[in-house]
Amino acid sequence: MTKGYLVLETGEVFEGDWLGAESDTEGEVVFNTSMTGYQEMMTDPSYAGQILTFCYPIIGSYGVNEVDDESAKLTVSAVIINDVCEEPSHYQSTSSVSEQLKKADIPGLANVDTRSLVAAIRKHKTVKGKITQIKEKHMELKDWNNKDTVKLVEDVSVKESEIHGDGAYHVVLVDFGYKKSIINALLKEDCKVTIVPYNTSFETIQSLKPDGILLSNGPGDPMELKHVFPTVKALTENFPTLGICLGHQLIALAYGGKTEKLPFGHRGGNHPVKDLQTGKVRMTSQNHGYVVVEESLDKNAFQVLFRNVNDKSVEGIKHIHLPVLSVQFHPEAHPGPSDTEYIFMEFIHQVITSGGKKYVEA
């Protein structure tokens, strides 16, 4: 195998062997602690612009199949793996991880000391990195580029509207980088789903006569999407709305809230979240680097529904007067536990009880 190097902006260098495309790339280096679900992670649009490190030491043992992709293509910038399995064993497997990376023209490194790399990320909080074949090539460069959120979202969002299913309830999904599992969860709840580009106007969405709105997950810094805040607010004022991950953050920002970057994000399938209404703790699947600042929320408009057990950060909010609910975690749970799948049922219940009526406050 050809030797490759991950060079962090902080100076550390990690050696490995090339996987997939042997091309230089750069991005924020993040890690996910899940033991399974590598195929779903690599195709999750929220990882666009990021170099994904797998904490679990063996990746690829059950191969890659034709059913678990979360989007039509790999959206991650690159992957970092300790031990890659080139001979997968699973009845659904159609290719290996390295074959999938090569086909998608996505680079990666294997045989990397991922334990030390994760320790470095935790030490430096947010850190950018570059994958290169010659470790001295970028050692002196200081022009570490920041990924533009609008460009990332434009790349992963649909370009034209799509319609899925023919259920009783019409949900318009505003696509900032949606996962296929979200669509499947809505179809399961007897929905017809129309997916629209992230920058679709309120008037266009209104003309589709939706019963409800879903604001999807997606990549990047939510504050860089200021131009969609007015549309998000108008949608929530007129239709029952569910926000997931980035969609959750955009709802808070549209109502004057603030977001902040976590030290090294929440990415994994075992994050405990407490339901403040029932006191129950549920395990959740998460993939995000930003959170809503609780103190910035208007207490006359929103109540906090969920809180992260580990760091006490906001994991979900509900509007006091409008049928608007948003969660920071992923209730569709692919990959991860399905403890919070009921969120979709609660959303459809809001849609049903609203009767499609407007909820604009006088």
Residue 151 structure tokens:
């460009």
Q: Do 292 and 159 fall into the same domain? A: yes
Q: Do 89 and 11 fall into the same domain? A: yes
Q: How many domains does the chain have?
A: 2
Q: What is the pLDDT of residues 226-245, one digit of tens each?
A: 999 999 999 999 999 999 99
Residue 38 structure tokens:
């590598």
Q: Do 197 and 321 fall into the same domain? A: yes
Q: Do 122 and 160 fall into the same domain? A: no
Please report the pLDDT score of residue 217 as a whole number.
97
- Pick the catalytic residue: 70, 288, 332, 334? 332
How distant, in Å, are the alpha carbons of 62, 63, 81, 82 from that of 85?
A: 8, 8, 10, 10
Q: Which residue range is the domain that position 292 belongs to?
A: 151-354
Please report the pLDDT score of residue 258 as a whole number.
98
In the residue annotation, 321 being an active-site residue is answered as no
Q: Do 118 and 156 fall into the same domain? A: no
Q: Does residue 51 contact residue 23 with C-beta atoms inside 8 Å?
A: no
Q: Which of 69, 60, 83, 68 is nearest to 1 (CA)?
A: 83
Give the integer Cα–Cα distance in Å for 295 and 303: 11
- Pick the catalytic residue: 248, 319, 330, 334? 330
The answer to the question of residue 361 being in a domain is: no
Contacts of 316 (CB under 8 A, 6+ apart): 248, 273, 304, 305, 306, 325, 326, 327, 328, 329
Q: Which residue has the tokens 């000391």?
A: 113
In the residue annotation, 164 being an active-site residue is answered as no
Q: Which residue has the tokens 């406050």?
A: 361
- Pick the catalytic residue: 70, 138, 191, 245? 245
In the residue annotation, 330 being an active-site residue is answered as yes
Starting at the edge strand found earlier in the chain, the sheet holding 212-215 runs 162-164, 191-197, 169-175, 212-215, 241-244, 324-327, 314-319, 302-308, 259-275, 281-292
Query: What tens-digit pLDDT sequence spans the chain (362 residues)?
Result: 799 999 999 989 999 999 999 999 999 999 999 999 999 999 999 999 999 999 999 999 999 999 999 999 999 999 999 999 999 999 999 999 999 999 999 999 999 999 999 999 999 998 999 999 887 655 555 566 778 999 999 999 999 999 999 999 999 999 999 999 999 999 999 999 999 999 999 999 999 999 999 999 999 999 999 999 999 999 999 999 999 999 999 999 999 999 999 999 999 999 999 999 999 999 999 999 999 999 999 999 999 999 999 999 999 999 999 999 999 999 998 888 889 999 999 999 999 998 754 444 43
CATH value at residue 63 = 3.50.30.20
